[in-house]
Amino acid sequence: MTWFFGITIGPIYGTMSLARDTGGLWAASYLFSYISHCLVQRLREFPRVSVFSPNPEANRINKRVGAFSDRIYFAYDGDPEADGFFEMLERVKNEAVEEIVDDIWNSLRSKTHSDQLLKEEVRGFLRQYLQVYYVAIDDSCLYGEPVLKVLNKLLDAAELRPPYVFKNESPHLMARFLNNETVKKSRMFAGAFGVGKFVFPSLTDIAKTETTRRKEKDGKSILEVVVQKLYAGQSPNSDFCTITNTNTKDPKPRMPKFANYYALVQADGDGIGGHITSLADIGEISNTSRTLLEYADSAVGIMTQYGAFPVYAGGDDLMFFAPLMGWCDGGHPVLILNMLRTLDEEFKKRLGDRFSLSFGLAVAYHKYPLYEALEIAKAQLDKAKRYKTKNALGISLTVHSGQSAQLLLTMNNTLLLDLIETLCNPLTEENVDFLRSVERKLRQRRAVLLQILASNSREERSSRLSWWFSQEFEGHGATLKLVQDILGKNLDEFSSPHEALETTEAVLSFARFMGEWEEATQDA
């Protein structure tokens, strides 16, 4: 007799929303991966238990990022009730929670240097807060359906149980733990990063410092490369990687605007969840789980090479912070779009072309509230997942003034992405004021452009667009050709003149943002 078990652990997203800095968000994610890992390790001690997802045999190099998912699946060979396994499973669950109780209690005491926080208070809170549920089913009750499909239905129902209603100050215990300084006192942190002096990067670090610290082969930083290529003849300030505005009586250091902004990225696999759920063979499920975990390990390497800070990498589910420009494997500065494409290509390489990734990207000022960026990235990912072909990228850019622009791109259209990367890369763009005038003109002449885009044939449309651009603008031929090509490719993709025009306008907004400069501040 074989029984199949499923375990779900939460509340993940609710906990992540409590984080207010990078270390807090890392810990909110790592906490649940840590619990999942502890449960898997304890379950493997039972000879009749076979854990098939997440695959504990996966070859993982990077242990600094949470990789174990919030759901565990295993088989039990025997009668769990007669063997007393249900009681043992309850004990295993309580032991895992108790380990977290000790860690969080000691971390909070170490941070506050106070014995007033009672361990029983922390234990009572966490046993109510952490939602660890399990379900079980006899193989004779599957009735020919895939085991994960049945278990997931039961786990979905279990997760509908009402959460604990907290009283007094209890909810603040988790929020108090989720910050850079307190997290660094925990055993979780020591297990992931060792006993060295690792420091969680601030949002400012991610936006700016990473791009000034990492060096090319010739010893230049990204900002120095931008300065020298765009402003040849002017002397960059090596301390701030800025240039001086020589057109004013009181020249002040200036820097690229994007260096004060960071990206929070969420990614999720397209089609892989349904594929695994449909598998009837336990061995296939285990092998797919192993492939996903090993891909996640590879993805962490890609992120780190670029200059990103990984938060979570659990198979087809990724989250990370990143600067808007980083380093490619060849040692050259690239836009974040380039790194996302590399992640997607690696995923397809390992899982097959029938599967892909979709991304949600929130670009925010380095002082912008983290929890709001988290909400925006999630909303953009949801929008990308709803796109007709999936494998899409949703981008939201919110500038310091509060203005925002949104963009939806397909990752499949490599020619369009190449054009957009070229237009948006500050190493190749020539004139921000010109981009602004093109963007404004597209809005002013919307009615005329919609008529042109509705032309019957591609040749007619291309000819009329070329004529229109030549009549409206002078010079900047290479840039105008890029904009025209992007507009045409967007029409091919969306089949709607309105969507094509709006998407092109959003691309121009992003390109203009990447090429703008502003006065450097000491707190930037």
Q: Is residue 142 part of a domain?
A: yes
For residues 319 and 348, membership in a common domain is answered with yes
Residue-wise pLDDT for 108-144, tens only, equals 887 654 556 788 888 888 888 899 999 999 999 999 9
Residue 418, in any domain of the structure:
no
> Which segments of 386-496 does DSSP mark as H helices, in order?
414-424, 432-444, 446-453, 458-472, 477-494
CATH number of the domain encompassing residue 359: 3.30.70.270
**Could you tell me if 265 and 344 lie in one domain?**
yes
The pLDDT of residue 516 is 87
* Stretch 61-83: mean pLDDT: 92
300-358: pLDDT as tens digits: 999 999 999 999 998 899 999 999 998 888 778 899 999 999 999 999 999 999 999 99
Which long-range contacts (C-beta less than 8 Å, at least 24 apart) are formed by 184-191? 184/23, 185/106, 185/107, 185/110, 185/111, 186/27, 186/103, 186/104, 186/106, 186/107, 187/103, 187/106, 188/27, 188/30, 188/31, 188/34, 188/103, 189/27, 191/34, 191/63
Cα separation, 216 vs 333, whole angstroms: 8
The secondary structure of residue 242, as a DSSP letter, is: B
Q: Is residue 419 a part of any domain in this protein? A: no
What percentage of the chain exceeds 70 in pLDDT? 87
Q: What is the rounded distance in angstroms from the CA atom of residue 301 to the CA atom of residue 308?
A: 10
Name the band, by pLDDT with cuts 50, 70 and 90, for residue 234. Answer: very low
Going 40 to 42 to 45 to 46, the CA torsion angle's sign is: negative
Residue 340 lies in a domain: yes
Q: Is the predicted pLDDT of residue 521 greater than 90, yes or no?
A: no
Same structural domain for residues 262 and 382? yes
CATH code of the domain containing 78? 3.30.70.2220
pLDDT, tens digit (0-9, with 9 covering 90-100), for 15-62 = 999 999 999 999 999 999 999 999 999 999 999 999 999 998 888 778
Choose the final residue of a domain: 343, 378, 412.
Answer: 412
Residues 212 and 286 in one domain: yes
Lowest mean pLDDT among 149-153, 157-161, 304-308, 404-408: 157-161
Q: How many domains does the chain have?
A: 3
CA distance 322 to 307: 7
Task: Tell me if 417 is assigned to some domain.
Answer: no
What number is the average pLDDT over the span 443-469?
93
Does the pTM of the predicted model rise above 0.75?
yes
* Contact status, residue 103 vs residue 73, Cβ threshold 8 Å: no
Are 126 and 12 part of one and the same domain?
Answer: yes
Among 412, 437, 462, identify where a domain stops: 412
Last residue of a domain, one of 383, 412, 441: 412
The pLDDT of residue 110 is 74
Residue 480 falls within a domain, yes or no?
Answer: yes
pLDDT score of 524: 47
Domain ranges, residue 512 = 424-524
Residues 472 and 361 in one domain: no
Tell me the two tokens of residue 225.
């490369």
Would you say residue 460 lies in a domain? yes
**What average pLDDT does range 3-12 have in this prediction?**
95
Residues 361, 331 within the same domain = yes
CB-based contacts of 59, cutoff 8 Å, min separation 6? 294, 297
CB contact at 8 A, 314 and 69: yes
Q: Is 444 exposed, middle or buried (0-12, 13-18, 19+ CB in 10 A)?
A: exposed
Same structural domain, 84 and 123:
yes
Amino acid at 112: T
189 and 206 share one domain? no
Give the sheet arrangement for strand 404-410, strand by strand. Answer: 309-314, 317-323, 261-270, 356-365, 392-398, 404-410
pLDDT at 152: 96
Phi and psi torsions of 496, nearest 5°: -130, 120
Is residue 219 domain-shared with residue 350, that is, in the same domain?
yes
Q: Work out the pLDDT band at 236, boundaries 50, 70, 90.
A: very low
With residue 327 as reference, give the H or E element that holds it: strand 325-327
Query: Are both 236 and 172 inside the same structural domain?
Result: no
Q: Are 433 and 470 part of one and the same domain?
A: yes
For residue 66, tell me if it sits in a domain.
yes
Q: What is the DSSP string of 127-154?
A: HHHSEEEEEEEEGGGSTTS-HHHHHHHH
